[in-house]
Amino acid sequence: MNEQSVGIRIEDLHLSFGDTKVLTGIDMEIRAGEFFAFLGPSGSGKSTLLRAIAGFGPAPRGRILIGGRDVAGLPPWKRDVGMVFQSYALWPHLSVRRNVAFGLEERRVPRRQIGPKVEAALDLVGLLPLADRMPSQLSGGQQQRVALARTVAIEPKVLLLDEPLSNLDAGLRVQTRRELLALQRKLGLTTIFVTHDQEEANTTSDRMAVLDAGVIQQIGTPQALYDRPVNRFVARFLGTANILQGEGTREGFRLPGGATLALTAPPGPRDIVLRPQAIRIGPVEPASRDRLPGVVRHREFLGSQVRYFVDAADTQLVVDTLHIATRPMLEPGAAVSLAVDPEAVVVLEESGGRAPI
């Protein structure tokens, strides 16, 4: 970790645009040197939260501490943060070198220091040979790296990335996110990455916060959030999820239709989550605990997987199986049994709204 890295603490943050609440009760901590993601659908408040940390937009209520210093009321250039925007915001009439130098010139860095800082930043992102080109002569990925170099050149303590890969095509996006993560690890900068793409968040972040309607739903590692979501929104937003309503009883978890899973759950109505790969599909067998009779209604061939849609337990369940060329696929209308591993079942703490973090 970079010795200059700092942590970020956000305390009871609220922000509204007029009468519209955009962020509500944000409480969280980002560790020094961490690659942290804000993940959520459009309109969830993730970019607004990032901009509040940067100092853009209306002032929120609450506290934002960067390295222990409350930055409320400070302009962006006094917060020791650098931000890369979705549009890259490069000056089209300036060369790559001049674009990277721009932030340093605005900060009145002595001219004798600007040249070496610019070259070091461009070398870091692999663009030093293209320093004298114009932005229009670069690919989308190269323009994104110029924006990164411009931000890195001012030596911020926190790097803020607002959907920086969204303008790239799929193949280049994968390559660039790997380069971005490698750069962050090399610099050791505390980094916050905003995205609506769960694959981007899963493959880059140490931890992430899932937002919906301006509220943090859950914070944790990508694996923890996928394996142990705390509410319906997180379960459905992070991958495909079967969510079943039932009731906790002394005998186990009773599902609609009368089947019971050998699952410990608090008494009363509850929701459970079953991931598609946690259900095994096979020939019809006698009904028993943790085994549900069903009928295949539809299937989708996904290359490495076959996805089945099966009517069972008074609902339709999604079941994923590994595709093996020598194994015949099940046909729609086939009667099957679904085996459920109780260890893979998640009992939701609540069915919606704000979750513990």
List pLDDT tens digits, range 57-105. Answer: 888 999 999 999 999 889 988 898 988 887 778 889 999 999 999 988 8
CA distance 124 to 191: 17
Higher pLDDT, 165 or 233: 233
Higher pLDDT, 125 or 321: 321
Write down the pTM of the prediction: 0.86
Summarised one tens digit per residue, pLDDT across range 204-254 is 999 999 999 999 999 999 999 999 999 999 999 999 999 999 998 888 888
What average pLDDT does this structure show over 246-271? 86
DSSP code per residue over 240-269: --EEEEEEE-SSSEEPTTS-EES----SEE
CA distance 57 to 82: 16
DSSP code per residue over 146-198: HHHHHHHHT--SEEEEESTTTTS-HHHHHHHHHHHHHHHHHHT-EEEEEES-H
Residue 166 burial class via C-beta count within 10 angstroms: exposed 0-12, middle 13-18, buried 19 and up: middle
Give yes or no for a contact between 118 and 128, defined as CB atoms under 8 angstroms apart.
no
Residue 11 burial class via C-beta count within 10 angstroms: exposed 0-12, middle 13-18, buried 19 and up: middle
Contacts for 116 with CB less than 8 Å, ≥ 6 apart: none
> Is 166 a residue whose pLDDT tops 80?
no
HSE of 316, CA atoms in CB hemisphere, 13 A: 8
CA distance 132 to 256: 67
Among 325, 324, 339, residue whose Cα is nearest residue 279? 339
Q: Identify residue 128 by its one-letter amino acid code.
A: L
φ, ψ dihedrals at 105, nearest 5°: -65, -40
Q: Which letter, b or e, does each residue of 14-36 get, where b requires 16 or more Cβ atoms within 10 Å of its Cβ?
A: ebeeeeeebbbebebebebbbbb
pLDDT band at 3 (very low <50, low <70, confident <90, very high): low
Among 232, 236, 210, residue whose Cα is nearest residue 221? 210
